[in-house]
A and B are shown apart, each in its own frame.
Chain A
Amino acid sequence: MPGTGLFGALDASISGMFSSRLATQIANHNIANANTPGYSRQSLRISSATPLITTFGAIGRGTVVGSIERAQSNFLQAQLVQQKVLYGNYSELDNALTSVEDILGSTENDRIGDALNEFFGAYSDLATPPMSDGKRQAVVSQAQRLSLQFREIDQALNSLERDNRRAVSTSVDQVNLLLGKVAEFNSQIVAASSRGGEPNDLIDQRGQILDELSNLTRFDLNTRTDGSVDVSIEGRALVTRGHVNELRVVEEEDLNGQVRQTVQFGGRNPIIIDFQSGQMAGRANMTNEVIPKIRRQLDELAKSIIDQVNSLHRQGVSSGGAGVDLFSGSDASTFTVNQAVVNNPALVVTGRSGDAGDNELALEIAALAESVAGGKDLSLNEQYNNLIVDLATQRGSYRTLAESQETIVESTRNRLEADRGVNLDEELANLVLFQRSFEANARVIRIIDEMLDTVVNGMI
């Protein structure tokens, strides 16, 4: 009866030793990759070999190594991607708004607010008799300071906007790079699968690439049966098996001269990708919406100041002659003090009559900061206040969102890590277990050897 003999027992033991050795090796691999980002714990699937059916029943024939399996948690993985995308969006906006806040001045050093107060204060000084040339000079200096703040802030916001646009380009390059890698892994995984078996480590590495991609943008995955994944962003398929549609950045000026940046792909009929979430969306939002809006508000405020002050100032008469504009320009970037007034501060007016002591107009100009004029609903101070509150509210909400999102991401990541990650103690215990199993199998072989010795040498 074949298989029931001592040699058959030897086979069973050898299969035990083999599977123990393999399991040790896997534990070894797990321990080695305990800290590898994105690594999924592997385990050996072992089953008992098909027993030998005899007249007295089934006789075990040792173990059979099934396959090396990867601890998978597709649900958590998808969750993590989702949450990271949101976090990327919020934290990007929070960061960018922090830069805007830094440009406008901290809570202590409020650049425009202070300059507004100083300018209208200087005019109030001038309105208080006696009206001296020194006070006129002070008005001119404060007017220069005010306009300079607007120009500087506008310039800084402009370069922030440019930096952001550049950052979008960089992000697009990065997205392209990552998509390329995904496509490459797709090809490798398909090839490895066709040779049989799961290319676990390749899948892990591709997972890691996708994880990185989720920092940048939201995307959808479609896993094919051959092991490859298709990646689409905002419904546009960008990776299909080994093929990549590369993204590119296009900048266009709209009718108002405002540069609008879009991300597109495709040749003759390019398709615009409208990022809805993730860091890319945050950056695009910042570049195309948030910063331009603040600049628009600043432009409006600058225009209000220029128009309202000028319309009063022009009504005046000074020792230097009929009233001229105090400010020139029409928005924050062109906001300056009329050069004629800078050259001759005597042109700063205080009254409509031209009399040395007429301070009526100066009183009116000084009151502009707090009065509603020029067809607006709000005074200049209130307009500025609204701008700040608007910005602060946005920052506040994005920071809160980013902070709470960070917690969610972290806990999701932990759950994922807990699920698929390597527990060293577990692996060590496994090592001990398989070591003992190996030793036991070896001992069984020695016993069988002794038994064979008895048969071969003792009986013959």
Chain B
Amino acid sequence: MRVTQQSLGNELIFQINRSFSRMSLYRLQVSSGKRINSFADDPRALGTIKRFDALEAQNKQHQRNTDAARTYLEATDSGLQDLSTLLSDFRALLVQETGPLASDSTRAAAINEVRGLRQSALSLLNQQVEGSYIFAGYQTGREPFSLVGDAVTYNGDAAVQEVQVGPTLRLAVNIPGSEFLGSNSAVLGGSGNLRPRITGATPLADLNDGQGVSSGRIEVTSGVNLPVTIDLTGAVTVQDVLDTINASGAGVTASIGPGEDGIRLTGADPISVKEVLGGSVATDLGLLGSSSTTTLDGQNIQPALSTAVALADVKALDGTLPLGVLRFDIGGKVTDVDLSAAVTFDDIRASVAAAIPGMDVQLDGGTLVLRYGQPAPFTVESPSGDPTASNLGVVGEASPARLFEVFADVLSALEAGDVGAVRQSMVELQEVHQNVLTQLVTVGARETTLDQNESLLLEREQSLRLERSRLEDADLVDVATRLTFAEQSYQAALAASASVFRLSLLDYL
């Protein structure tokens, strides 16, 4: 083939240009670390990279939102923890006020203390994060709870604020104050004493609401006789105790008291019973003390009411069996529950639960508690002439416990000196507290979700980056090698052109 200087020159210039541009491309890739530096480098990958850009930005945003949501939830969490502590204190105060040491003077102090607690509860629930009230639903701009006179009103709503923390995940971050106003259930606290009677066969371990009787000795003195120490160590049942005392020669006769709730000692003279060597047997048996007459009636040491207890074993129900009808009215819907077939308390519970789903009969010491699983008020009575409801001590109206109503109820009960009403309120307080704890669990679960979500977001960010880098980043070893080759071919092209053009026939003529 014919070759001319010009074609040779063109060819060389073309090759040099090409090597040079290839070299500069690899240089750009090495210096930027990226394989794709322009739209044209890999259009298909570019689309994916741009998509990843958007997804990564979105992921970053979700991480930011997660952080913000956490701040909000943490504030809610600590507010609720404080509220829970406050309610525990409140309960402790009420326990004192219903106890034997309560007096008019402690009551006056308690009233002040309850007012103080209410104020604290208010400020906890009126908490703000960056100027927003967190317990106000959507009404974040104004104080959700305000005290007017002796009543607290709620100015917020029940709306739940959500935060976008994942591509498809929206997480609720606030607990609207309305949640504290009603509990999730309505409770009717019963009255009366439905504890089973004591018989000879009653195990000592069941006595005193199931706390039992410690083992040891007692000292019994009848009149001016010498004290007699009675060893009750081996006693298992009440009958064992009675028999041991009767056989002790202390001059007293032990029997089950007329109320069938304790032990009665009778003798010829006034009787006194003491503990031996710091024991607590006499106290546990309800016998500690002395009588001015020939009879010493012990304190109530009845076992706790349990579902297995037969109705016939309850003294308060003597002569009322079989039971009649309990009439429930839930929001106008009246349901009669026939309890005539009930033999044990478990039967009562089963009958009620079968008739009204969600209505639970619970036992609290010697009383029944009716708990309805929905925050709807209800009343319980019996048809006229039927004493069943009052015999079971469950006549009355139940409404969902409301935090600030409990305060109001307690305050008026304390002011009126009505210990019974204070006790009644304690059941409601328990409900309210339970509700706060439920909210705390909810908040805790959300925080856990946030944590899990955050690690998910971080993982996704990692994998997005990895994918992106796989598409976009230059393989440095590869590019560096190519760059070396390109440099070599560039040098070769230059060297070749220099030597080719040096050769000419002119040199030989």
Interface residues of A, Cβ cutoff 8 Å to B: 34-35, 41, 94, 97-98, 101, 106-107, 110, 113-114, 116-118, 120-121, 124-125, 127-132, 319, 351, 353, 355-360, 363, 366-367, 369-370, 381, 384-385, 388-389, 391-393, 395-400, 410, 413-415, 417-419, 421-425, 428-429, 432
Choose one: A98, A114, A117, A421; the contact of B6 (CB below 8 Å). A421
Does any Cβ of A come within 8 Å of B504's Cβ? Answer: yes
Residue contact B7 to A417, C-beta cutoff 8 Å: yes
Which B residues are CB-close (under 8 A) to A417? 4, 6-7, 10
* Nearest residue, chain B, Cβ from A418: B7
**CB-contact partner of B5 in A358, A369, A413, A423, under 8 A:** A423
- Residues on the A chain within 8 Å of B61, using CB: 117, 120-121, 124-125
A114 contact set on B, CB distance < 8 A? 57
CB distance from B310 to the nearest CB of A (A): 56
Q: Decide: A113 and B54 in contact? CB cutoff 8 A.
A: yes
The answer to whether B123 has its CB under 8 Å from any CB of chain A is no
Interface residues of B in 122-155 (CB under 8 A from A): 129-134, 136-142
Identity of the chain B residue whose Cβ is nearest the Cβ of A101 in the assembled complex: B39
Contact B54 A385 (CB under 8 A): yes
A363 near B170 with CB under 8 A, answer yes
A38 to B200, CA, bound (A): 133
Q: Is B49 an interface residue (CB 8 A)?
A: yes
Contact A355 B36 (CB under 8 A): no
Assuming the contacts A107-B39, A113-B50, A425-B504, asked whether A357 and B159 have C-beta atoms less than 8 A apart, the reply is: yes
The 7 closest A-B pairs by CB, nearest first: A357-B140, A356-B141, A130-B132, A355-B138, A421-B4, A417-B7, A117-B57
- Which residues of A lie under 8 Å from residue B65 when comparing CB positions? 124-125, 127-128
Residues of the B chain whose Cβ atoms lie less than 8 Å from the Cβ of A414: 7, 10-11
Q: CA–CA, A414 to B40, complex, Å?
A: 29
Chain B residues, Cβ within 8 Å of A94 = 40
Q: Could you tell me the distance between the alpha carbons of A5 and B64 in the complex, rounded to whole angstroms?
A: 114
- If A131-B140, A357-B161, A422-B5 touch, does A370 touch B72 (CB 8 Å cutoff)? no
Q: Which residues of B contact A106 (CB under 8 A)?
A: 37-38
Q: Verify if B46 is at the interface (C-beta below 8 Å from A).
A: yes
Judge if B505 is at the interface, Cβ distance under 8 Å. yes
Q: Are A363 and B138 touching (Cβ within 8 A)? A: no
B162, A359: Cβ atoms closer than 8 Å: yes
Residues of A within 8 A of B89 (CB): none
Question: Which residues of chain A have C-beta atoms less than 8 A from B506's C-beta?
Answer: 424, 428
Q: In the complex, A395→B43 CA distance in Å?
A: 8
Distance in angstroms between the alpha carbons of A421 and B51 in the assembled complex? 54
Residues from chain B with Cβ under 8 Å of A396 in the complex? 39-43
Closest residue on chain A to residue B49 by CB atoms: A107
Q: Which residues of B (19-65) have their CB < 8 Å from a CB of A?
A: 34, 36-44, 46-47, 49-51, 53-54, 57-58, 60-61, 64-65
A392 near B39: Cβ-Cβ < 8 Å = yes
Complex CA–CA separation, A107 to B53 (angstroms) = 10
Report if A351-B138 is in contact (Cβ < 8 Å); known contacts: A392-B46, A414-B10.
yes
A455 to B3, CA, bound (A): 52
C-alpha spacing A415/B3, complex, angstroms: 9
Q: Which residues of B contact A351 (CB under 8 A)?
A: 138
Please name 17 pairs of A and B residues whose Cβ atoms are closer than 8 Å in the assembled complex, sorted by A: A110-B50, A125-B61, A129-B161, A129-B163, A130-B140, A351-B138, A353-B138, A355-B137, A356-B141, A356-B142, A357-B159, A357-B174, A385-B50, A392-B47, A396-B39, A418-B4, A424-B506
Asked whether any CB of chain A lies closer than 8 Å to the CB of B187, the reply is: no
Contacting pair B43 A370 (CB below 8 A):
no
**Once the chains bind, are A124 and B164 in contact (CB under 8 Å)?**
yes
User: When the two chains form their complex, are residues B54 and A381 in contact, meaning their CB atoms are under 8 A apart?
Assistant: yes
| CB of B72, distance to nearest CB on chain A (Å) | 6
Name the B residues within 8 Å of A358 (CB-CB).
Answer: 138, 159
* Interface residue B173 (Cβ < 8 Å from any Cβ of A): yes
**Are A130 and B130 within 8 A (Cβ)?**
yes
Q: How far is the CA of A353 from the CA of B159 in the complex (A)?
A: 11
B458 smallest CB distance to A (angstroms): 18
In the complex, the answer to whether A107 meets B36 with C-beta atoms within 8 Å is: yes
Is the CB of B198 closer than 8 A to any CB of chain A?
no
Given contacts A107-B46, A356-B138, contact A410 B14 (CB under 8 A): yes
Q: Does B157 have its Cβ within 8 Å of any Cβ on chain A? A: yes
B477 at the interface (CB under 8 A from A): no
Residue of B nearest to A393 (CB): B43
| Chain A: CB-nearest residue to B139 | A355
- Asked if B505 and A425 make an inter-chain contact with CB atoms under 8 angstroms apart, the answer reads yes
B100 within 8 A of A: no
Taken together as a complex, chains A and B put the C-alpha atoms of A120 and B6 apart, in Å, by 61
* Pair B6/A35 contact, Cβ less than 8 Å: yes
Measured in the bound complex, the distance between the Cα atoms of B50 and A114 in whole Å is 10
Q: A129-B72, A396-B43 are in contact. Are A363 and B4 (CB under 8 A)?
A: no
CB–CB A359/B47 < 8 A: no
Once the chains bind, are A385 and B505 in contact (CB under 8 Å)? no
Residues on A with C-beta less than 8 A from B42 are 396
User: At the interface, yes or no: B1 with Cβ under 8 Å from chain A?
Assistant: yes
Closest chain B CB from A99 CB (angstroms): 12
Q: A125-B65, A129-B161, A358-B159 are in contact. List 15 more A-B contacts (CB 8 A).
A: A35-B5, A117-B58, A121-B57, A121-B64, A125-B68, A127-B163, A128-B68, A131-B140, A319-B141, A392-B40, A393-B43, A396-B40, A414-B10, A415-B7, A428-B506
CB closest residue in chain B, given A132: B130
Most central of B49, B54, B133 by chain A CB within 10 Å: B54
Chain B residues positioned under 8 Å from A97 (CB to CB): 39-40
User: B99 at the A/B interface (Cβ < 8 Å)?
Assistant: no
Does B278 lie at the interface of the complex (its beta carbon under 8 Å from any beta carbon of A)?
no
In contact, B3 and A418 (Cβ under 8 angstroms): yes
Q: Answer whether residue B101 sits at the interface, using C-beta atoms and an 8 A cutoff.
A: no
The interface residues of chain A lying within 8 Å CB-to-CB of B134 are 129
Nearest Cβ on chain B to A363's Cβ, whole angstroms = 6
Please tell me if B319 contacts chain A, counting CB pairs below 8 Å: no
Q: Which residues of B contact A366 (CB under 8 A)?
A: 164
Interface residue B277 (Cβ < 8 Å from any Cβ of A) = no
Q: Is the CB of A395 within 8 A of B138?
A: no
List chain B residues, Cβ under 8 A from A422: 4-6
Question: For the complex, is B357 an interface residue (Cβ under 8 Å from A)?
Answer: no
Q: Mark B179-193, 1 if CB is under 8 A from A, else 0.
A: 000000000000000
Residues of B near A423 (CB, < 8 A) are 2-5
Roughly how many angstroms separate A35 CA and B8 CA in the complex, as a whole number?
11
Inter-chain contact A418/B1, CB cutoff 8 Å: yes
With A356-B138, A385-B47 as contacts: A130 and B40 at CB distance below 8 Å: no
Say how far B46's CB is from chain A's closest CB, in angstroms. Answer: 5
Whether a CB of chain A sits under 8 angstroms from the CB of B69 is yes
Chain B residues near A125 (CB-CB < 8 A) = 61, 64-65, 68
A391–B50 Cα gap in the complex (Å)? 13
Query: How far is the CB of A26 from the nearest CB of chain B, in Å?
Result: 16
Q: A129-B173, A130-B72, A355-B159 are in contact. Are A34 and B39 (CB under 8 A)?
A: no
Q: Which residues on B sit within 8 Å (CB–CB) of A395?
A: 38-40, 43
Q: Give Cα A360 to B40, complex, Å.
A: 42
Decide: A389 and B47 in contact? CB cutoff 8 A.
Answer: yes
Q: Are the C-beta atoms of B43 and A392 separated by less than 8 Å?
A: yes
